[in-house]
Structure 1
Amino acid sequence: MKSSRALAAAALTLAALGGLAPVPAFAGPAHAQDPASWRGELVGDPVPLDTLTADQVRSVLSGDGRADGHIDPATVRYGVTTYRLTYRTLTPQGTPTAATGLLVLPETGGHRRLDLVSDTHGTMVKRSYAPSAGEEFGRLSPLVQGSAGRAVAAPDYLGLGEGPGLHPYMDTASGVSASLDMLRAARTAAYALGRPVGHDVYATGFSQGGQVAMALAKQLDQGVDKRFRLKAVAPVSGPYDIEHTEMPALFDGRVNDVSGVFYLSYWLVAQNRLHPLYKSPEDAFREPYASRVESLFDGEHEEDAVVASLAPSVRELLTPAFYERLRHPDGGLLAAMKAADGTCDWKPAVPVRLYTATGDTDVPIANTRACARQFAAHGVRARVVDQGAVGHNGAFMKSAPETVRFFDSVARHGRG
């Protein structure tokens, strides 16, 4: 559910941005009591970031030095221009706030209405790694989608990028609301920039973003906003089954120790703000980790620094009692897991393709198979694409251009 540390360090041909100054929380105008009247409103003008030619995009996707390989640039057709959007959305508690995101517009020429892709990113701990804030890995997928000829709305999520507060990691509801409101903001911004978008929306995302993409697609398919018409959904390696797959995999070896400690710590700290998981860090974490774990997830630490400050294994991270609680969850722990699950429990009216990899030891392939079974229970065949022995980020690298081809096929023929 994270971008690789090697990937984060890769030198890509993107312009460096200045220091981030988080936008203030949105206090709300007189109409703030009616969220439908302001959700997705732009705060200020779109901020231009980069303009890349098609060859420059190909160079970025084919860049050397990435531990998990490169992205096939064959789907690149156009150059792109990118913008940072700041827009109004909701906190997990339903109060007004602001968030940021990346808008990618392809340089297609002409004035035809563009289809729109919602592209939701994987786990990030440092706010400046978010797509609109300049972190390279967070922009790879939006560049893949945008250079294929579609507008892309890539939310930073709450508490990342220049949004205020802390990131409510793996809170599905706010991940979806921030993504939906980013679509609304992108629609407004694209029109203002002379590149209007149509009604058709394609949903993709990686890792944490795969789960968000699926939940967003569910709402779009059920008509949450009549201005958007879901055409297809193609997430990559999403943790769709926290309770029965991802959490047990932390204890049976399917998730590697480094990733397991990283994800679990992030999840516990973030979810404890939303659910009663523990009263004090000492109730859940062993020392010396208890005294520093919450400060590590303040949005300012590098992933390497977080990992280096935590235990080498889940068993060494947690108190014995809390370790057993996680193996047999109840109360707030179980509620937090169930709140994230169920994103595949619906009957889509559009094509669905699920990308994954047997070699993934961050989000095991069993998550995707569980998702496919939920669709099958509704009479829907969601094709599972297994990318083989590659790891978590390798699954993304191989799948990103394939999602473009899938979306192209749906656009041409109405099916994948």
Structure 2
Amino acid sequence: MSTYLPLPQPSWKSARHLSVVLATSFALVLTACGGGDDDEGSGGGQPGSGAPGALVSAERVNEIPAADITAALSDPESKVQGGVTPLYAVTSYRLTYRTTDKDGVPTTASGLVSVPVKAAGARSPVVSYQHATTFHENQAPSNKVEAVEPPLVLASLGYIVVSPDYVGFGAAKGQIHPYLTSAPTANAVVDMLTASDSWRGQAGVADNGQLYLAGYSEGGYATMAAHRAIHLANGGLKQRLQSAVPGAGPYDVLETLDEQLDRVGDLFPPLGAILDPGNLSKLPDSVRREVRDLLLKQMVPEDGDVAYESLFLDRYMADERELVARDHSVHLGWAPSVPVYLFHGRLDLTVPYSVSESAQRALRDAGATDVSLTDCTTPKLGHLDCVPEYFRFAVERLGRTAKDL
């Protein structure tokens, strides 16, 4: 997509037409980019009461027996659908903590900590599990504490599971969710980990010093964003981190959007040149905003109650590629020092497989020595089709080095 053609001044009608065409591409990226609906090893001193990562409150939510989690795995709606054997009952707690919003302004967010019920004093590895895209606030981890949910299934296997709600959900309900913006996404994860360290120290919940990161789609993106932030900070969390398992995330945002627009161009050849960001950038700002607003209407369900930031779209349509790469992509500028196990389906029409190839190549080129890419083998190989296989893959990869399960 590199040929720029002179364009006539578009009307509002043509802007609406463009938004419908673009929506066939971008809506896939957003709406299906997910699954739908300290003791030893702490990273250092506790942050001050208003600082990022400060623990604000904690409350017990429930306890679910292992038998209930086992039964939930047979549910057709389960994101796991068998392949694992729950060993422990799970007690979950809702934490609120301090982090920053899309503009870097301090705010209060929330998340879930799910703890396996083990013998007194037993230690467990920690997994930070990042959830996939949802447009409904009641689907956030600390609001949907059910046996079928991945954080509880992981906890039933012996892990302490930390699951941030993200800004825009839970305690930060009503705020704009900083979708595909790397810094606030990473902050929500890292600050939740810091707050959970403080809580475990107060509650006497012992970890064994091992930390893992995992998540699929937007959760895969958040996993890599947090991993990069942890790596570059070079602090206590980095010393504990054992590996990361990001699945089918839009790590390279430019590649994700370029591929989606190329597909639209293949379906509608006369519009191929118009859809080039170099041409879209020549439209007046007011028309691009109209396209953006109508596009988001196409993406977000009418009953959705979470507002998604569109900065990555605005910059992409304005052909501000350097800003998209700098502030939105998460695969550039670092070389992870622990294994990264990428997972993706080759026929994924939501987040193209080439995005994981791009991430693997960039990380290796930067000097990383252990970045693998495993293909989904589920027959359909689509984005949501591969979710159960991803979960089993993640469990296997985490279990290679996890102790005290």
TM-score range normalised by the length of the shorter chain: 0.7 to 0.9
TM-score by length of 2: 0.73
Q: 1:79: which partner in 2?
A: 89
Which runs of no fewer than 5 residues in structure 1 stay unpaired? 10-33, 258-276, 307-321
Structure-2 separation of matches of 1:339 and 1:174: 10
Distance 2:31 2:245 in 1: 19
Match of 2:303 in 1: 301
Rounded Cα–Cα distance in structure 2 between residues aligned with 1:232 and 1:359? 26
User: Which amino acid counterpart does residue 150 of structure 2 have in structure 1?
Assistant: S
Aligned partner of 1:158 in structure 2 is 167
Query: Partner amino acid for 2:171?
Result: E
1:234 maps to 245
The residue correspondences of 1:256-271 to structure 2 (distance < 5 A) are none
| Aligned mates of 1:117, 1:210 — CA distance in 2 | 14
1:56 maps to a residue whose letter is: D
**Aligned ranges for residues 12-411 of structure 1 at < 5 Å?**
38-44=51-57, 46-65=58-77, 70-134=80-144, 140-164=149-173, 165-226=175-236, 229-243=240-254, 245-253=255-263, 280=286, 282-286=287-291, 290=293, 293=296, 301-302=303-304, 326=316, 329-331=318-320, 334-343=322-331, 345-377=333-365, 378-388=367-377, 389-411=380-402
Change (3 A) 1:161 1:279: farther
Q: TM (normalized to structure 1)?
A: 0.71
> Whole-Å Cα distance in 1 between the matches of residues 89 and 139 of structure 2?
23
Paired with 2:253 and 2:109, the residues of 1 have a C-alpha distance of 26
The amino acid that maps onto 2:363 is: F
Q: 1:220 to 1:98 in 2, by over 3 A?
A: same
- Distance in 1, Cα, partners of 2:364 & 2:212: 21
Shift of residue 85, structure 1, vs aligned partner: 0.9
1: CA distance, partners of 2:90 / 2:64: 5
Q: The residue matched to 1:211 in structure 2 has which SS?
A: helix
* RMSD, aligned α-carbons: 3.6
Quick check: 2:35–2:132 contact (8 Å CA) kept in 1?
A: no
Seen in structure 2, the aligned counterparts of structure 1 residues 348 and 362 have a Cα distance that, compared at 3 Å, is same
The answer as to whether partners of 1:58 and 1:73 remain within 8 angstroms in 2 is no
CA deviation vs aligned residue, 1:127-154 (integer Å, no higher than 9, x gap): 22211112769x7221232122111111
1:411 match: secondary structure: coil
Structure 1 residue 192 displacement after superposition: 2.8
What residue identity is the alignment partner of 2:163?
Answer: A
Contact 2:92 2:145 in 1 (8 A): no
Over 3 Å counting, the alpha-carbon distance change for 1:366 and 1:295 in structure 2 is: closer
How far has the Cα of 1:301 moved from its partner? 3.1
In 1: Cα distance, 2:150 partner to 2:111 partner? 14
Shift of 1:401: 2.2
Can you list the C-alpha shifts for 1:146-178, whole angstroms capped at 9, x where unaligned? 122111111011111231412111111001111
Matched letter for residue 369 of structure 2: V
Distance in structure 2 (CA, Å) of the matches to 1:187 and 1:155: 13
Q: Call closer, same or farther: CA 1:169–1:35 in 2, change over 3 Å.
A: farther
CA shift in 2, pair 1:337/1:135, >3 Å: farther
For these two proteins, the number of residue pairs brought into alignment is 341
d(CA) in 2 for partners of 1:35, 1:224: 20
Give the partner amino acid of 1:361. L
The code of the aligned residue for 2:331 comes to T
